[in-house]
Structure 1
């Protein structure tokens, strides 16, 4: 009787051990995906926004042109290097370890130029309004402005060897671009504390506070933070399109860090409305 009981217990233990081993060494669940379909063109730039910084990009063919957007690490810009290339793929890995596969095809006029991954467990792609300003459009406009024939400085102010000049104004849809030159004619380096564009009252009435409205700077191209002695820098600021209301004025203000070489320019509405248009065929994207 004891012998039969021992056999039964041994059999139960063997069964439990085999089941546990099968669970321990069970194969991993394989998740496969062909990739998110995406069309790109040789004349337009497609932007993809990821929820985390991009750490790796692999393209299936050299005809696919890719680069990170300037100044940010989570936006990828894509463009076709030539027309009608064969279907290929693109793989992006972000800092959180997530892998994003794409299947790329050529389309001269893609339905969407902007894709965004939200921070959700479903990794859903959402399409934006193509008319809204995005960083790809602004980057393309920066390139067009820099490729344009240089304009002479028409508004400038000099203070202690520092010259701030406004070269030109441009507009495209709802974005306005100010192109500046900043020259340091002294041997003392100039470090910028702040650079602001704002609208304020022309005259301040007694016993009332002056009202100022700052213009949001959407993006910049070029460096104005440090101007070495005997050098000159050109840079562009992108701001939301605006005009100046009656009894108001637009002030462009440059402030030096730990110094007194502060400069202000005043621009009127008659000049704002003469901003040059950046036509789509003037833009060289990517």
Structure 2
């Protein structure tokens, strides 16, 4: 009898938590999640149903929008202030378009910035990749005004993807690194307004180069959570140069799902 009461109580508690952790979105409105502190991780359950990204100008906000009308539910995970919020996302033309993140039930997240592997081990794994030059180089590169941006290799270990990048500065002027952005985007965009993209957050970067000296080639390893790219989409890696008035060069690598599926295990 006591066991039955416990099971019923647990079931009712689960229903209450699920109802509490639900947001509604639609296609013609943008919904925002607002946190008290910086948001460090965002992941959507089904990228064909919704897109979500941290607002660049407001790192404590996430904007969410439906890709199209959909039935049923999807999910959204957001981490802020070392707490993980798992939200159920429903399509509805509701009036509410903003939510306070802390109003939802959240669990202690741990240090997600270094992923499921300790930071000291990530450092050693990245060093191992940079020491090993035996793998055949992936032929994915971008060139612009004397700068060559290349994806050398891609590795998989413990549900993590290790991207080995190479940046070559063939000019006589130092390259000031701006940022490296990771996006999953449509392969073909007929109209800018139809573009559906979402950002993939880095878990760890080995060297964090800020400058590439003249006539120099440097390698870097960036760790991302394991993922695959949905049909008709592509992973874009954008290297931005820091310059006055946003006039810096932008180099973009396009990585197909076939390349990700062939990541080398080590």
Q: Name the TM tier (shorter chain).
A: 0.5 to 0.7
- Structure 2 residue aligned with 1:275: 263
CA contact (8 A) 2:162 2:223 kept: yes
In 1: Cα distance, 2:128 partner to 2:202 partner: 19
Asked if residue 146 in structure 1 is aligned to residue 130 in structure 2, the reply is: yes
The structural deviation recorded for 1:205 is: 5.2
Q: Which residues of 2 match residues 61-80 of structure 1 at below 5 A?
A: none
- Structure 2 residue aligned with 1:174: 159
CA contact (8 A) 2:130 2:219 kept: no
In 2: Cα distance, 1:239 partner to 1:175 partner: 6
- Structure 1 residue aligned with 2:222: 237
Segments of structure 2 that go 5 or more residues without pairing to the other structure are: 1-81, 83-109
In 2: Cα distance, 1:185 partner to 1:197 partner: 24
Q: Which residues of 2 match residues 33-182 of structure 1 at below 5 A?
A: 132-151=116-135, 152=137, 154-182=139-167
- Structure 2 residue aligned with 1:7: none
- Structure 1 residue aligned with 2:176: 191
Question: SS at the partner of 1:183?
Answer: strand
Question: In the superposition, relative to structure 1, how do residues 150 and 180 fare at CA in structure 2: closer, same or farther (>3 Å)?
Answer: farther
Question: In the superposition, relative to structure 1, how do residues 262 and 205 fare at CA in structure 2: closer, same or farther (>3 Å)?
Answer: closer
CA contact (8 A) 1:222 1:233 kept: no
In 2: Cα distance, 1:235 partner to 1:206 partner: 34
Asked if residue 215 in structure 1 is aligned to residue 203 in structure 2, the reply is: no
The one-character-per-residue Cα deviations of 1:57-114 (angstroms, maximum 9, x if unpaired) are xxxxxxxxxxxxxxxxxxxxxxxxxxxxxxxxxxxxxxxxxxxxxxxxxxxxxxxxxx
Segments of structure 1 that go 5 or more residues without pairing to the other structure are: 1-117, 119-126, 279-286
State TM-score, norm by structure 1.
Answer: 0.49
CA contact (8 A) 1:249 1:267 kept: yes
The one-character-per-residue Cα deviations of 1:117-148 (angstroms, maximum 9, x if unpaired) are x9xxxxxxxx99xx933323322321221232
Question: In the superposition, relative to structure 1, how do residues 207 and 187 fare at CA in structure 2: closer, same or farther (>3 Å)?
Answer: closer
Task: State which structure, 1 or 2, has the greater radius of gyration over its C-alpha atoms.
Answer: 1
In 1: Cα distance, 2:134 partner to 2:166 partner: 11
What is the number of residues matched between the two proteins? 151
In 1: Cα distance, 2:121 partner to 2:173 partner: 37
- Structure 1 residue aligned with 2:251: 263
CA contact (8 A) 2:138 2:152 kept: yes
